[in-house]
Structure 1
Amino acid sequence: MARLVLWDIDHTLIATGGVGRELSAAAFEQVLGIPMREQATVDGLTEAVIFRETARLHGVDSDRAMFERFAAALAEEHVRRASDLRERRHALPGAAEALAALAAAGVRQTVVTGNVRAVAGIKLAVFGLDRHIDWASGAYGEDADLRPALVRIALARAGASPVDAVVIGDTPADMAGARANGVPVIGVATGRSDPRSLQRSGADTVLMGLDDTDGLVELVLGTG
């Protein structure tokens, strides 16, 4: 059985509602002093990569210190606009039930996400999805650029072996991160990637959503 679930966040547990770009733009302008005219592709990428590539689109060569200021500003924007998050985003159907049911089954849960840790916490707390997450075992957008490294970091922090874990995510990058580390992976077609692309990227199983709580728990317990 899988004793550790590594959850993605955006489009797996919550729908972003488009407000994320606005918050990023506000933090970007605050740090760089110029409006964010365009943003690099975000699906499956970490916040560090998105910031670096977005800065480059604006003719700016960013450094780590600049990214850290951006990450802090982005977290502040999420706190400041928490009411917008509640109004324009929502937990995906079955997310709360899945987290609770897995916890009741004794499964440890954390996140492997491109979000920086502070933002990840805010996003899930807004919808009450944070209570079953072992935050110390997670891996975040400030920890590494690519998903394979994030999965590796989370396994190390959790003290778990690949066969004792399962990744659940909605992008080919989530699938690739799991596969690179020998971790079973469940694709959830709740984002912009269709079931076929998730299967081609290495998903062991693809679900259309998290609505079937019992089925998901059985799938997780039978994985590994």
Structure 2
Amino acid sequence: MVKLVLWDIDHTLMATRGLGGELWGEAFEQVTGVAMRQQAPVTGSTERVILRETARLHDVPYSDGLFTRFADALGALHVRRAAELRERGHALPGAAAVLAALDERGIRQSVVTGNVRQAAEVKLSVFGLDTYLRMDEGAYAQDGETRPELLREALARSGTTATEAVFLGDTPADVAGGREAGIRVVGVATGRTTAADLGVAGAEVVLSGLSDVGHALGAICE
């Protein structure tokens, strides 16, 4: 029986419509003093890895201290521009309804995301999605570099075993991370990866989206 549902955020529950990249570049320049010319690949990665690789592209020395300053700067920028995020971004169709339906069933929910925690909290709160999520039981960029690390941290924080959890994400990295952590993965083809490719990556079930609430609940709770 499913006791815990873990959600990826970007392109699974919501989209920022380009604002996320703008804030990222601004935070990078704030903490390094270097204007960002190129960002390392972000799909399926975590902020810590993205920052390290982006710093390398700009010949900027990376350290844990740099990541801490970057995380603080990025979180503060999300807080400052939350109203703009609400205007430009949006929750994906069906996201709130599926979260609410799972909550009504008494199933605990949290997030496993490559975002830094403060940014994740702002993104979810501006669209009212945080109401259904136990944020303290999730895992964020501050908690590790890889999806398996983050998933295991969320399981530990929630006191849940891998066999009692389900993870929903939109990238092959999400699928691979869930499989490595022993968690059943439901792919959601609302990002840059097709449903077919999520299936090839190993997702046990793939949804085209969350707008069919009954279908989504069936896939999650089977």
Give the TM interval when normalised to the shorter protein. Answer: over 0.9
Of Structure 1 and Structure 2, which has the larger fraction of its residues in helix? 2
Over residues 165-200 of structure 1, what are the superposed CA-to-partner deviations in whole Å (9 max), with x where a residue is unaligned?
Answer: 000010001101110011111000000000111111
| Maintained 8 Å contact 2:75/2:117 | no
RMSD: 0.8
CA shift, 1:16, in A, is 2.0
Q: What is the CA–CA distance in structure 2 between the aligned matches of 1:58 and 1:168, rounded to whole Å? A: 34
Aligned-partner SS, 2:130: coil
Q: What amino acid is the match of 2:210? A: L
* C-alpha distance in structure 2 between counterparts of 1:74 and 1:183, whole Å: 30
Number of the residue aligned with 2:19? 19
Secondary structure in structure 1 of the residue aligned to 2:168? strand
Whether 1:28 and 2:55 are equivalent positions in the alignment is no
Residue 150 (structure 1) aligned with residue 145 (structure 2): no
What amino acid is aligned across from residue 197 of structure 1 in structure 2? D
Report the TM-score when normalising by structure 1. Answer: 0.97
Counterpart-to-counterpart distance in 2, 1:119 and 1:73: 10
User: Given residue 221 of structure 1, which amino acid in structure 2 is its aligned partner?
Assistant: C
2:95 alignment partner in structure 1:
95
Deviation at 1:216, TM superposition (A): 1.6
In the alignment, structure 1 residue 126 sits paired with structure 2 residue 126: yes
Q: Secondary structure, in 3 states, of the residue corresponding to 1:106?
A: coil
Structure-2 residue corresponding to 1:63: 63
Measure the CA separation in 2 of the matches of 1:20 and 1:38.
15
What displacement does 1:86 show? Answer: 1.1
Corresponding residue number in structure 2 for 1:199? 199
Stretches of structure 2 that go unaligned for 5 or more consecutive residues are none
* Alignment partner, residue 45 of structure 1: 45
How far apart, CA to CA, are the structure 1 residues paired with 2:79 and 2:118? 10
Structure-2 residue corresponding to 1:75: 75
What amino acid is aligned across from residue 209 of structure 1 in structure 2? Answer: G
SS of the residue 1:210 aligns to: coil
Q: How far apart, CA to CA, are the structure 2 residues paired with 1:13 and 1:147? A: 17
Amino acid at match of 1:82: A
Share of identical aligned residues, percent? Answer: 56
For structure 1, the residue ranges without an aligned partner over 5 or more in a row are: none
User: C-alpha separation between the residues in 1 aligned to 2:84 and 2:109?
Assistant: 27
Determine the C-alpha separation between the residues in 1 that align with 2:218 and 2:197.
Answer: 24
C-alpha distance in 1 between matches for 2:135 and 2:128: 14
Q: How many residues end up aligned between the 2 structures?
A: 222
Matched, 1:172 2:137: no
TM-aligned CA deviation for residue 201 of structure 1: 1.0
Kindly provide the amino acid, as one letter, of the partner of residue 211 in structure 1: S
TM-score scaled by length of structure 2: 0.98
Give the Cα–Cα distance (whole angstroms) in 1 for the partners of residues 44 and 16 of structure 2: 14
1:10 match: 10
Alpha-carbon shift at residue 79 of structure 1 (Å): 1.1
